[in-house]
Amino acid sequence: MRNFIQFLVKNSFVFLFLFLEVIAFALLINNNNYQNSKFFNSSNYLVGNLYESVSNVTDYFNLKTTNSELAQHNAELLSVNINSFTKIYGNTILINDTSYFQKYVYTSAKVINNSTNQRENYITLDKGAINGIKPGMAVVNSNGIVGIVKNVSPNFSSVISLLHQKMSISGKLKKSEYFGSVIWDSDENNHCTATLKEIPNHVDIQNGDTIVTSGFSAIFPEGLPIGTVQYFDVPKGSNFYNIIIELTTDFKQLSHVYIVKSLQKEELDKLEALTQEDVN
Amino acid sequence: MLIDIIKHSTRFLALLLLQGLVLNNIELNDYINPFLYVLFILSLPLNASKYLVLALSFVMGIAIDTFQDTLGMHTAACVFMGFLRPYILKILEPRDGYETNFSVNIADMGMKWYATYVVIMVFAHHLFLFYVESFSFSQFFSTFGRALVSTIFTLLLISITQLFYYKPSKKRR
């Protein structure tokens, strides 16, 4: 111990130098966007790989629930398969490949990092640009919606979770088709709930009503479950409900998700931008 | 002693304002940005404690950074320079040691000594600064070139300041 102290005293000038440099670099990385992004990008690459190997191990613990979820989802898919429908149009002939065309493409991905207890939560997935993932795609799982892809690297993608301050998703009441925005605020909601706003107060609502995606933004397919009404009231002096919904997705247990690519989004965005331009 | 403190504080303020208000707005070719403020650290007394020099370098760096809105960048470079200073002084020490009443300028120390000292220190500072700014070695030679060109401009400015010292100090001492 004495030798150690002697060593510290002997080299105190070097240690003071290192100490001041550490302060300088801490200031540098925290206050300058460019250096910050450089630093965190390289560390993200390391951490991303680390998370993946950790998740490779922990996945085994969830195998049972995941399996049953997948089996259930398979069953659901089979039930909507075209083969399980009988044609009801007596003598008209339906040619599948011209009357239907594909609007959404699904890619399955594994969650390798996830947070639920921050004000701004992010999820990391093991699919990236080389799998055709682009920013702005929707992420869902078999129970409901999960988030929107924010950034992609070649092998990973970072998703803004629904549990994020700045996230806002267009949702509608399945029963009455009235739509509003689903937002999440860490002060009001926990990881199981979100808030639905902008529903006018003359609409009839019951606890347990289902809220689904409206499909207006073309990011999320229409009709995916978001949650059910848990509690609602009308704030004094307001014309709109404040509705707390219980999310159908369990964000604490996310492990397999689907990334949804909308084949029509580009066309739709282009058209809407054009209309806006004409009006202005 | 007191007069030294006043002298160096005045130099600190003058160089800070000159760098912050005038020199930072000079960007020749988007490439060359002279950093004259390092003259403050260069001109600290020869017998000043190395800990004090390190601390003053840190303060100078932070002050410049708040002007430039690059918190931490100049601080890191200045602290590095303050750390190098005692070692450079030791290497350049004449055989019979430094004269205690000499201050660090071209008139007292002589052209050759002063030039060696300033070139080493300024180049070390600029190299560190520009690599911290680019924060990677991926554009090694372009960063190196920028540091080199800016060093030349800083040295030019420092030699201009030394013109002020040259004549009167010879008479005074």
The 10s digit of each residue's pLDDT in A193-239 is 899 888 888 888 888 899 998 878 778 888 888 999 998 888 888 88
Burial class (CB in 10 A: 0-12, 13-18, 19+), A67: exposed
> Per DSSP, what are the bridge partners of residue A261?
A105
Of the pLDDT bands very low, low, confident and very high (cuts 50, 70, 90), residue B56 is very high
User: Helices in chain B by DSSP H: which ranges?
Assistant: 2-17, 38-42, 50-68, 73-92, 106-109, 111-134, 140-172
Distance from CA of A33 to the nearest CA of B (A): 10
Q: Do A25 and B72 touch (CB under 8 A)?
A: yes
Nearest-CB residue to B72 (from A12, A16, A28): A28
Mutation for B interface: A18, A27, A37, most B CBs within 10 A: A27
For residue B75, the chain A residues in CB contact (below 8 A) are 20, 23-24, 27-28
Neighbours of A184 (CB within 10 A): 24
pLDDT at B125: 94
pLDDT digits (tens, 9 = 90+) for A48-72: 788 788 888 888 888 888 888 887 7
Quick one: average pLDDT of A167-173?
89
Contact A27 B58 (CB under 8 A): no
Backbone angles phi, psi at B56, to 5 degrees: -65, -35
* Percentage with pLDDT > 70 across chain A: 89
Put simply, the answer to whether A16 touches B54 (Cβ < 8 Å) is yes
Q: Which of A38-42, A115-119, B17-21 has the lowest mean pLDDT?
A: A38-42
Let me know: does B137 contact B147? Beta carbons within 8 Å.
Answer: no
Nearest to B132 among A14, A20, A28 (CB): A28
Q: What angle do CA B61, A42, B79 make, to 5 degrees?
A: 15
CA-angle at A211, arms to A206 and A213, nearest 5°:
160
Given the cut 0.85, state whether the ipTM is greater than it.
no
For residue A243, give the nearest of A254, A263, A229 by alpha carbon: A229
**Is the pLDDT assigned to residue B78 strictly greater than 50?**
yes
**Which pLDDT score is estimated for A85?**
53
Average pLDDT over residues B56-76: 88
Residue A166 binned pLDDT confidence (cut-offs 50, 70, 90): confident
Q: Say yes or no to pLDDT of A10 above 50.
A: yes
CB contact under 8 A, A28 and B50: no
pLDDT value, residue B41: 92
- pLDDT greater than 60 at residue A73: yes
A34, pLDDT greater than 60: yes
What pLDDT shows up at residue B121?
A: 93
B80 vs A contacts (CB less than 8 Å): 17, 21
Task: Inform me whether the pLDDT recorded for A275 exceeds 60.
Answer: yes
Cα–Cα dist B51/A184, whole Å: 52
Q: Which of B51, B79, B136 sits opposite A24 (nearest CB)?
A: B79
Tokens of residue A225, six digits: 């479950």
Please report the pLDDT score of residue A89 as a whole number.
46
Indicate the pLDDT class of residue A87, thresholds 50, 70 and 90. Answer: very low
